[in-house]
A and B are shown apart, each in its own frame.
Chain A
Amino acid sequence: MNNKEFISALAEKMKMKPNEIQKLIENFSTTIADCMEEGDSLTVQGFGSFEIKKKVERIVVNPNTKQRMLIPPRVAISFKASNVLKGKTKQ
């Protein structure tokens, strides 16, 4: 399901306009990111949990050119599905 389908499905459920939904999603993402930036983790009941992980800097080598690159440290989001979601997708 792509973004368009998802938005329209959600819009139908919520009885709102698709562009309003898109706007809400954008706000929602920003809100989550703001919370996450402080190191919080977000748990959604029956869905899963989002948390941030610090990744340390590392050196990678391009196997073709043998060029070495230093990848800077970064903060990444990780998602862990809850058992409910796991059970739903298991087939």
Chain B
Amino acid sequence: MNSKITIQEVNSLLSTRANLPKKTTEAFIRSFFEQISSTLSEEQYVKIKFFGTFKTIIVEERESINVNTGERINIDKHSKVSFTPDNFLKDLVNRPFSQFQSVILEDDTTTDELQKAEDSAKEIVQEYITPEAPEEVEAFVAEKDENEATETNGELPPPPPPLPSAVYESPEPPQEDTVASAPEDSEPKNTPTETSTEKSEMKEPAPAYTEEPEKDEKKKFQKIAALVLGAILLFFLGYLCGKGLSSKNSKEKVSAPAAKVENVSETKSRQPTDNVSEKKETAESEKILETLPYAPVAKGPKGREMKITGYLGSYQLKKGDFLYRIASKVYGDSDMGRYIIQYNNISNPDIIAPGITIKLPKLEEAK
């Protein structure tokens, strides 16, 4: 990987491929490049089918400033050689990424475009995963929150008693307005308010909840909200599954808010979902994850210091994965890629082989 290959190695490969003696192919390669360079010294361009076009470009004289001394210097008129690969060669090299296509972005796509493009590019993959993916995410967020949840559990009656279905039904419209719609509006745009709440939630989730407007009925509200959001979540999931094969744009629009709502509801509906997710969690904690967990970090400038506080899970790399892309998926910030690199002792992040299992660190803002 990433080594320099010599023309001798190419030669031996070529001779086996073309079924010709090595001598012939070696002579061919040598005269091939000789012919190009001798032609380039006389003519403007050489066009070779299946390979590409070599061109000599004349660069006009220009003035520049020596960076060290500040002196003005003249760069003489010179020529340089450019190479444009033939489509044949281009496509061959680009094979690992050939499934991607450029996407037209609608005017109202204000969400993280990277995420969306990725989703649409892996549409097929996603279609299979969609029924399970949110649940796995759920399990993860729940797991993450569980340590903190114990604090809140102290305040609240530990086992949430099952509520009668009448209560369960009646508060639905107001809850949906107050809880579900608010984050839906603010979150896709990644506004500062959202990041600040995220911040506070990550650091100390318990106080964040006490700050909720409904202080009097806090406990009751939380339980109800949890149940209602759980119901909405299930509805959304069912809806998504049913809509699985519909057009991708609309699907994205639906799935993006749905995912957000899930995240919000997860944090709020810990108690009820705990029972469910705990089972999954025990099954999942050991094995390698199919989908990436989602544990967003607080927004901030590039290059800020973070602290590795724990272990989030393992993930097996697939072809076409980038560490920085994984970072942006898991932490919501591609800048966190360097912590993945650090955590796994990767010496050269540009060369990662598919099949390698990486560990994802749990990150927290360093103070």
Q: Taking beta carbons and an 8 Å cutoff, which residues of A are in contact with B?
A: 1-3, 6-7, 9-10, 13-14, 21-48, 50, 52, 54, 57, 59, 67-79, 81, 84-86, 88-91
Cα–Cα distance between A19 and B6 once the two chains are bound (Å): 26
**Contact present for A85 and B40 (CB under 8 Å):** yes
Residue of A13, A42, A73, A88 near B5 (CB, 8 A) is A42
Q: Taking beta carbons and an 8 Å cutoff, which residues of B are in contact with A?
A: 1-7, 9-10, 13-14, 17-18, 20, 25, 27-29, 31-33, 35-41, 43, 45-52, 54, 56, 78-83, 85-86, 88-90, 92-97, 100-105, 107, 113-114, 117, 121, 322, 350-351
**Contact present for A3 and B49 (CB under 8 Å):** yes
**Contact present for B93 and A6 (CB under 8 Å):** no
A40 → chain B, closest Cβ, in Å?
A: 5
**Contact present for B89 and A77 (CB under 8 Å):** yes
Cα–Cα distance between A62 and B365 once the two chains are bound (Å): 39
Q: Which residues of B contact A84 (CB under 8 A)?
A: 37
Q: Which residues of B contact A25 (CB under 8 A)?
A: 32, 48-51
- A sample of 4 more A-B contacts (CB under 8 A), given A10-B35, A22-B49, A91-B79, is A27-B14, A70-B102, A74-B97, A76-B90
**Contact present for A76 and B93 (CB under 8 Å):** yes
Cα–Cα distance between A21 and B50 once the two chains are bound (Å): 12
**Contact present for A70 and B10 (CB under 8 Å):** no
**Contact present for B81 and A81 (CB under 8 Å):** yes
Question: A75 with B94: in contact, given A2-B47, A10-B32, A35-B13 (CB under 8 Å)?
Answer: yes
Question: A67 with B29: in contact, given A1-B39, A74-B94 (CB under 8 Å)?
Answer: no
**Contact present for B36 and A72 (CB under 8 Å):** no
